[in-house]
Structure 1
Amino acid sequence: MKPKIDTPEIYEDLRNKLMTAYFKQGQKLKPSELTEHYSCSVNTIRETLFRLSTVGLVTAEEQRGFRSSPVSRQRQHDLTNFRITLEQQGVLQSMRNGGIEWEARLTASHHKLSHIESRISKTGDVVPVITPWCAAEWEFHETLVSASDSPVLRETFRSVYDQFRQQLVSPEHNYGFLEGNIVEHKRIVDAALTGNVDEVCVAIYDHLRRNLIRD
């Protein structure tokens, strides 16, 4: 018999699976199968899937159940716009408020991300390191806004970031990995650490603009 998993652990595990392409985008999520996998009740799974639907990672349809959120070019565009705005505002506030401790955390998070991305670049294979890579990617971008004095900005950024990543992570698009990300992340961190407010905003925009719909 499998050990019982607590509801918060189920939520985090499903959230991570939704953001690392364990489930295909738009895939039906069957409570009966998840109940068996997690050794829990159907009600626990339904409650967890409903919570995930409130943060945009799952769609809930009456009489039709739950699905992993499907890919939508317009949705990706909208999420990118929101993310650019939040990340730019968040990093500017962090640059004002963060001090040396924030700079140290940003440097460390970038070092970890750069190490993993360099390995992916050498091997050409994302799959073996997709979980630590996604975690390091989040840690870096979260650190950028972590010294913002707005709890609402930080909370909203997490929700928008998660939905944004889910839209991009698929085998067909190499799970969202691009060689240019290595240089772009370094450009962002260099601008942030040198206090160049104009450059850091431009660097963030340039890093994300490929996901916008252009007229």
Structure 2
Amino acid sequence: MFGRRARSEEDTVVAVLAAALRRDISFGVLRPDQKLKIEALRQTYGGSNHSMRETLRMLSAEGLVEATAQRGFRVTSATEDDLRDILFMRLEVERLGLRLGLQRSDVQWEGRVLAAHHALRRTEEALLKEANDALALDWDMACRSFAAVLVEAAQSPRLSDMQLKFYDQSRRFRLALLREGRLDFTARAQQQQALVEAVLARNTNAAVAALETYVTGDMMTGTRSV
């Protein structure tokens, strides 16, 4: 009993540490390729050596941290090639999930898509009025929820897990574009609306095409909707 309680407490600590490091990697506080020394991280974020090591292993599985043989951990790189590869994998998963979802979905799923889209639009409107880190996180989570609901009707937990993994790997790039003022929110709103309309019309080809536009945006100009 006590062993289970200790394990549960340790899992909670790791979850809290992972959320903090995930946030700071996403916002660029922990920079791409930065070495992550456990003792230095403990001084900033707390936790034990064991819990911090477990945290870094978790983030390594998510693709945000890289474990190198004999060299410890570092934040994964964030080059343009990295982004292209992440978007390639994300699109492969999300296209498949959306196609399957449109075959297997019901009216309740349509309601969840509409609700997620509504929440996303509200957070984008709030962010345009007052940009701060708290609203940026709310917006990013709304983007994440909208992306996730589009594939959940595929009824494949493993596919959904992969979708979230690649989405999370792309968030550093999206938040960097937000900080630099390089996101076109008018274009994003139009892309989201086109995607939702195609989904509700059960037009698979149009929905997949709209998804591709929304996820990739314009890679060359820096107004990417990632």
Give your verdict on TM over 0.5. yes
Q: Which residue of 2 aligns with 1:186?
A: 193
Aligned Cα root-mean-square deviation (Å): 2.7
Q: Which residue of 2 aligns with 1:153?
A: 159
> Structure 1 residues 45, 113: closer, same or farther in 2, change over 3 A?
same
Q: Which residue of 2 aligns with 1:90?
A: 97
Q: Which amino acid is 1:162 matched to?
A: D
Residue 13, structure 1, aligned to residue 20, structure 2: yes
Report the Cα distance in structure 1 between the residues aligned to 2:50 and 2:107, rounded to whole angstroms: 47
Shift of 1:173: 5.4
Gaps of 5+ in 1: none
Alpha-carbon displacement from aligned partner over 1:38-91 (angstroms, at most 9, x marks no partner): 432122112211221122101223444322222122121111111112112111
> Structure 1 residues 162, 175: closer, same or farther in 2, change over 3 A?
farther
Where do 1:65-214 residues align within 5 Å? 65-123=72-130, 125=131, 127-170=133-176, 174=180, 177-179=183-185, 180-210=187-217
Shift of 1:21: 3.5
> Structure 1 residues 65, 133: closer, same or farther in 2, change over 3 A?
same
> Structure 1 residues 22, 186: closer, same or farther in 2, change over 3 A?
farther
1:31 paired residue among 34, 38, 43: 38
Report the Cα distance in structure 2 between the residues aligned to 1:120 and 1:19, rounded to whole angstroms: 17
Q: Which amino acid is 2:205 matched to?
A: D
Report the Cα distance in structure 1 between the residues aligned to 2:181 and 2:68, rounded to whole angstroms: 27
Alpha-carbon displacement from aligned partner over 1:165-214 (angstroms, at most 9, x marks no partner): 2343326853874322122112111111121111111111112334658x
Calculate percent identity across the aligned residue pairs: 26
Gaps of 5+ in 2: 1-9, 221-226
**TM-score normalised over the length of structure 1:** 0.85
Residues paired across the two proteins, number: 211
Partner of 1:169, secondary structure, is: helix
**TM-score normalised over the length of structure 2:** 0.81
Q: Which has the higher contact order (CA 8 A, sep 6+)?
A: 1
Q: Once structures 1 and 2 are overlaid, which stretch shifts more, 108-117 or 173-182?
A: 173-182
Checking the alignment, whether the CA contact within 8 Å between 2:177 and 2:183 is kept in structure 1 is no
